[in-house]
Amino acid sequence: MKKETVLQFAVLCGVPFVMVLGNSMLIPVFPQMKQAMNLTQFQVGLIITFFSLPAGILIPFTGSLSDNYGRKIIIVPALFLYGIGGLVSGFAALLLDNPFSLLLAGRVLQGLGAGGTYQLAMALTGDIFQSKERVKALGLLEAANGLGKVISPILGALTAVIAWFAPFFLYSVVTFPIALGVWFLVKEPENTTTKESFSQYWQELCNVFRQKGTVLLASYFSGMTALFTLFGVMSWVSDILESDYHIFGITKGFVLAIPVTAMAICSYLCGTWLTKNMNFCKATIITGTSLAAVILISLPLFTNIYLFMTLLLFLGISIGIVLPPVNYIITGAAKADKRGIVTSLYGTVRFFGVAIGPPLFGIALKYGRWIMLGGAAAVSAAAAIIGLFFITTPQQQE
């Protein structure tokens, strides 16, 4: 990576980092929120829902806009909206006796902002970096995303020591400087936008999917499966660490960080390795999804906490090696003027995977751990089989 691009890429890595804070930073604070606002458990869950749904719905539209008008002009206002939404929620809690409705409105604003962040940062990275450097850069972006997953629960718990609503103010403190950095420090390449009409744009997008639809859909499914597995398993493990192993508080947070940290490190290492071994992208995806399937079906066999966490460590590794090659294939499947919408659609399915993981694991758990983890293993095995038959590695990136 050239020295002149290091600073601007460091700023871009801040985009996925702050996006991950959107939900994960609030989860440790839910009990205080529930008590302070006299909420039911369903109402507490709406704090996540009102963020995730707007983000998932908006992502494809921001991708389309970025292809027509540029990445930065979408990313920067989206980041400011993300931070402003946090301020709305924070001041609602600070100033109102019954802040819940306005707090949810702030979360909607944050979700709308989140819809124009990480996936467009991926697209902009794909525009800036070419060929071999691109896969390494995308691995670093995924590692920054993973780092946010590791730090955010700890950051939320620490900030809540001040007040239960203090994490909402932290969003703006972190996000506004990154937005300014993207605007002033990141140089967007020329000739990466299209000036086509809406109908022309979508017609050509359909052509992209006619030509590359199979590999794109297979790659989308692999990425969605990885995040579905991660968040589903982690939601289950969070419960059993307390009920089965009597691990609580900050100790529990660090234990939960083990597989996520492994995922982040492996995303970076895998992205670096693939820089010189791009032809192994398909094999890496198949290996990662197959390994995840084996680990998931093996988890019920181990009750010793050390062996159990060792398996979770390897599950994090398996997920970490899947995401960088998926990112690389998706960003390389379309030319620069269609890359925004292609990566944004990927963002939507990622959000979908995260959203459905915990509730589906919860429903399946009613039928026993073997059914829950066996079903998840079957999904990962399906991703491996689909990858084997339908994923191809681009021979040359645009």
Residue 310 CB partners (closer than 8 Å, separation 6+): none
What is d(CA 102, CA 87) in angstroms, rounded to the nearest whole number?
A: 11
At 187, phi and psi to the nearest 5?
A: -100, 115
Judge whether residue 184 has pLDDT over 80.
yes
Residue 398 banded pLDDT, cuts 50, 70, 90: very low
pLDDT digits (tens, 9 = 90+) for 297-349: 999 999 899 999 999 999 999 999 999 899 889 887 777 666 767 877 887 88
**Confidence (pLDDT) at 396:** 44
CATH code of the domain occupying 207-398: 1.20.1250.20
**Confidence (pLDDT) at 43:** 81
Residues 181-207: what's their mean pLDDT? 75
What is the full DSSP assignment across 253-266? HHHHHHHHHHHHHH
Residue 195 banded pLDDT, cuts 50, 70, 90: low
In the chain, CATH 1.20.1250.20 sits at 1-185, 207-398
Q: Nearest-CA neighbor of 285 among 383, 398, 211, 198?
A: 383
> How many Cβ atoms are within 10 Å of 137's Cβ, its own excluded?
27
Q: Nearest-CA neighbor of 83 among 105, 58, 55, 110?
A: 110
**Confidence (pLDDT) at 384:** 97
**Confidence (pLDDT) at 397:** 41
pLDDT digits (tens, 9 = 90+) for 96-150: 999 999 999 999 999 999 887 877 787 788 788 766 677 778 777 877 877 787 8
Give the C-alpha distances (Å, rounded to integers) separating 146 from 13, 39, 121, 151, 259: 11, 31, 15, 9, 10
Residue 137 CB partners (closer than 8 Å, separation 6+): 1, 9, 125, 128, 129, 271
**Confidence (pLDDT) at 96:** 94
Check residues 274 and 177 and name the one with the higher pLDDT. 177
According to DSSP, residue 190 is labeled S
CATH code of the domain occupying 1-185: 1.20.1250.20
Both tokens of residue 45? 């869950």
